Amino acid sequence: MNTDNKAELFERTPVPKAIAALAVPTIISQLINLVYNVVDTFFIGRTGDPHMVAGVTMSFTLFMMITALANLFGIGGGSLAARLLGKGQAADARKVSAFSFYGAFAVAFLYGLLIALFLDPLLRLLGASQFTIGYARQYVWLVVILGSVPTTLSAVGAHLLRNMGYSRQASLGLSGGGLLNIALDPLFMFVILPKGWEVLGAALATLLSNAVACVYMIVALCRYSQAAALSVNPMEIRGIRREDLREVISVGVPSAILPGLFDVANIVLNALMAAHSDLALAAIGIMMKAERLPTSINLGICQGMMPIVAYNYSSGSRERMSQAISTARRYGLAVSTACVILFELFASPVSHAFLSTSAGNVEDAVTTVAYAAVFLRIRCLASPVQFLNYHTSYCMQAMGDGRDTLIHAVVRIIALYIPFMFVLDRLFGMNVLASALFFSESCAAAFAMYLLHQWIIR
């Protein structure tokens, strides 16, 4: 699709149809990626070993930091590229996309190197015990240390393609990687590698699938570089304007800090749960996997909305921008409410799907599943207000408002969520600890709506 067709999508296509065109492929890829992100835990759960599940749970915290790195250049660069395209500055958008790609490569490589140097102290900080640290080492070495660069570049490539209107192509690459991971997991875990090496098999499957997705994104960026404001030519970086560099960083840093802060919060949550028991830690890992269903769909809605908001904000079409914001908000709240009902009714079978109670240590497995079901019923109540926070963050990022995005992220996690966790755990114990997200996200959502209103009326 050429640039004129993209202008038609951003400027004149009815807003619900335009959001659907960009969001539906993104939601599909998010759901497939959800499946492949939980499939490791699912297959490892077939062993009936809660210590394997706990080892992967703490490893996931380090893996999610890669999302922060991808947001730094993917959302920062992609949002700016869409705004530049709205101004008719396609050449500058190409330079921004090239800078974003190679900046992501450098930072991801450095992250993997640092994790390798300080791996064991980090795992101990995350709550690793003598029973879980070996499994965590296996997973982190392949998925995080060796996989940081391909995983980051595939995510950044998807952000850049999506913000230029190529949502279907971006989603195809991410979905393909996810489907490959689903196919490779049982092959490596239960066929190729011997019993007891299931965590290593899952990690190897994830590394290979992310590498394939990365290759696809590079090919796609090259293929559409002529028709869209995209480039992976390192020579383009030389001509990038300083103000564009500042714009990428000003929006990208808050976008990176939010998942980074959530990672810090998850470290705190894991440590508090590990202090109760390894089984509680495994249960919170199961809960986090299950709750990603509404999060994945809602992030797809927000990412589909974002290019439309950015383009029309830059081109001056404020009425269309506001319509896109309100339409996406309605969609996300409907999905969140439906998921709350789903988890309240089916928390036990959903939790049971992640850990077998007929293999391994049956007594520990049954206890872990019971914990996870309780945690899930409590935590799912946060889904609607959590969506409002994500929705507002994406809106402000689309409009280039890095300052308020950063303020919101810090208030949301540092001032609210982490203190709520400590207080509720200290006063009421681990079951009520799971409710910390609901209370903190409710307060943060009220603050977020205020910030967005102030920005729109300026």
User: Which residues are CB-contacts of 350 (< 8 A; sequence separation ≥ 6)?
Assistant: 290, 343, 373, 376
Give the span between the Cα atoms of 109 and 66, in whole angstroms: 11
DSSP 8-state symbol, 361:
S
| pLDDT recorded at residue 1 | 43
Segments of the chain scoring below 50 in pLDDT:
1-4
The ranges assigned to domains in the chain are: 3-456
In three-state secondary structure terms, 13 is coil
| pLDDT recorded at residue 310 | 84
| pLDDT recorded at residue 6 | 61
Report how far Cα 394 is from the mean position of its chain's Cα atoms. Answer: 13
The angle, 0 to 180 degrees and rounded to 10, between the axes of the packed helices 383-398 and 292-315 is 30
| pLDDT recorded at residue 336 | 92
Indicate the pTM of the whole model: 0.72
On whether the CB atoms of residues 409 and 254 are closer than 8 A, the answer is yes
Quote the tokens at residue 325: 């914001």
| pLDDT recorded at residue 5 | 54
Quote the tokens at residue 70: 């991808």
On whether the CB atoms of residues 123 and 271 are closer than 8 A, the answer is no
